[in-house]
Structure 1
């Protein structure tokens, strides 16, 4: 009888050992899977494609967004581009480039690098105060007029009226910056200039 009990204990110990080996193998497989997943995801990041704060409702379509969304994005991009110091301009430029349209990335990076070099060389800080903003929902453009104030060593050295046109593009569920350029403060969206260009051929044919 004791021999039977001994044999039963040995069989039970073997079953327990086999179960432990199986659990250990499953644990090792899970660890390898998690390690492979971590290596696969290394270096990836999620890019935020909306302004940090949203205070108006807006709509989106397949290739367009509403005027309210364009307005909020314009204010956000203006802050990144024009409210800068020698210490902040590099970081703000990197954030801005996350929104750059692929076709415009190289040009925007070059312009931002030149601006950063000038700001750091002069030790200058700039602050832009928007006064008027116009949105062209059809072309997904925003025109802004305001005052650009420049400081050097806490001393205000200039305050001039400036106009800027911001061209945006909505594609694949993302908003992209196509262009950010200085324009006339009297015509930030260059509506008058475009009207003159359209009228020029007609004026020529009448002579």
Structure 2
């Protein structure tokens, strides 16, 4: 009788071990699925914004942006960089630097400081007028290419308008848009 009882106990413990193993596998699977679902929810939560100074809606998420948002922000960065006077250049460039990530800041800030000093010292004003239909957005490379007229004034003397193309390089990481550079086509990053 005792042998039969021991066999029952062994069978019962084997069954209990199997049930515990199945429970563990099920709980591990559920945990993985919930973790993946939480990650997806966190990175793909979309928000649609229509700020008062921007004329069209755009969509952003924790992981990506759409073309209208990239275009509007690129145009905004060009506005800050190219529509300057001796009186507002420090404020404009300061706003630009708010979007520059720490790892790029040391390379961009001295260039903007030199440019701002030259603008103030030489009494230079500039205005950039984008040409309609001349904006090209690349979501893959996170950049816009904008062609337009750059009009500069030195003191009271207006220089001839120059047709230029600028490339604005951006990055989007964890829901934060970063400015990596503004380049005049054919010239190094500034």
Gaps of 5+ in 1: 1-49, 185-207
* C-alpha contact (below 8 Å) 1:136/1:142 kept by paired residues: yes
Distance in 2 of aligned mates of 1:121 and 1:157? 17
Q: Residue 88 of structure 2 corresponds to which residue in structure 1?
A: 88
* C-alpha contact (below 8 Å) 2:128/2:149 kept by paired residues: yes
**Runs of 4+ deviating beyond 6 Å:** none
**By how many angstroms is 1:161 displaced?**
1.1
| CA distances 1:64-97 after superposition (whole Å, capped 9, x unpaired) | 2100001110111111100000110011111110
Q: Residue 166 of structure 1 corresponds to which residue in structure 2?
A: 168
Structure with greater strand percent: 2
Distance in 1 of aligned mates of 2:62 and 2:138? 17
Task: Determine helix, strand or coil for the equivalent of 1:158.
Answer: coil
* C-alpha contact (below 8 Å) 1:64/1:169 kept by paired residues: no
**By how many angstroms is 1:139 displaced?**
1.4
Task: Determine helix, strand or coil for the equivalent of 1:119.
Answer: helix
TM-score for both structures, normalised by structure 1: 0.61
Q: Residue 143 of structure 2 corresponds to which residue in structure 1?
A: 141
Gaps of 5+ in 2: 1-49
Q: CA RMSD in A?
A: 2.0
Q: How many residues in Structure 1 have an aligned counterpart in Structure 2?
A: 136
TM-score for both structures, normalised by structure 2: 0.66
Q: Residue 66 of structure 1 corresponds to which residue in structure 2?
A: 66
